Amino acid sequence: MLRQVAEGVLVHQSELLENNAVVVQGRAGVLLVDPGLTGDEMACLANDLRELGQPVVAGFATHPDWDHVLWHPALGEAPRYGTARCADFMREVRSNADWKTHVAEGLPPEIAGEVPLDLFGLITGLPAETAQIPWDGPAVRIIEHPAHAPGHAALLIEERGVLVAGDMLSDVLIPMLDNTTDAIEDYLVGLRLLEDVADDVDVLIPGHGSVGDVDQVRTRIDQDRAYLHALRDGQAPSDPRLGPSAKAGWEWVDDIHTGQAQRVARMSEHDGTPG
């Protein structure tokens, strides 16, 4: 079910993983960001838009994780944009003859048979200098950064005061690092870029979890930064998304943290740096 979070901006949340698909209303239709997850959920979203008389005229994938590059035939054939790096990553994935098998193997078992993959990852890369999504609607600024995944981009809908953060600033997921040698610093760079626009944000939409109001924007930036500093320094983070304070059903996030802490420790040993 669509829920309005700002003027002309609505959210459709998936049951599993609490993915937030974002709908931005324009003159002739809507911009649809990161739709998911199951076929039934995307068909429901398409039906909601039909009832509103709002066809999808453009799509955008914030980054190339499987749950952010999905699509459904009922959503139509609008151009689906992403950064050039995001599109290149997905093109490489789909170039493998067995790509669909590999993607299916990585899906959560609860929904593995319910996620349509035929239109998976068909992203049109925007040139690196592109500052806004090309569509007939409110200006949507692209903020590309190196955090979390190749070609990750947040979106700022300036006249609505809305930040679509992709897989950052979540109240249920800790920062998840990309597989790069400077992953923590890359993530901190991303946070700084989001912090640069924080004063212009009244509504924060993370890729997963609860939509935040103006008071939550800097709180979540600070929380993510504190987690990364603790991880970098080899300390146990004091984070409400971990341990007994974690949201029910999200206890598995502890496993993500454990894996990241072990990886950072190994890299510190290899580099001879304390941590």
Please list the residues that pair with 33 across neighbouring strands. 22, 60
Cβ contact 217:205 at 8 Å: no
Q: Domain 1-127 maps to which CATH number in 3.30.70.1060, 3.30.379.10, 3.60.15.10, 3.40.50.800?
A: 3.60.15.10
Instruction: List where CATH 3.60.15.10 sits in the chain.
Output: 1-127
Per-residue pLDDT of the chain (275 residues; tens, 9 = 90+): 899 999 999 999 999 999 999 999 999 999 999 999 999 999 999 999 999 999 999 999 999 999 999 999 999 999 999 999 999 999 999 999 999 999 999 999 999 999 999 999 999 999 988 999 999 999 999 999 999 999 999 999 999 999 999 999 999 999 999 999 999 999 999 999 999 999 999 999 999 999 999 999 999 999 999 999 999 999 999 999 999 999 999 999 999 999 999 999 998 776 655 54
Alpha carbon distances (Å) from 102 to 16, 99, 180: 21, 5, 22
DSSP 253: H
Q: What is residue 32's three-state secondary structure?
A: strand
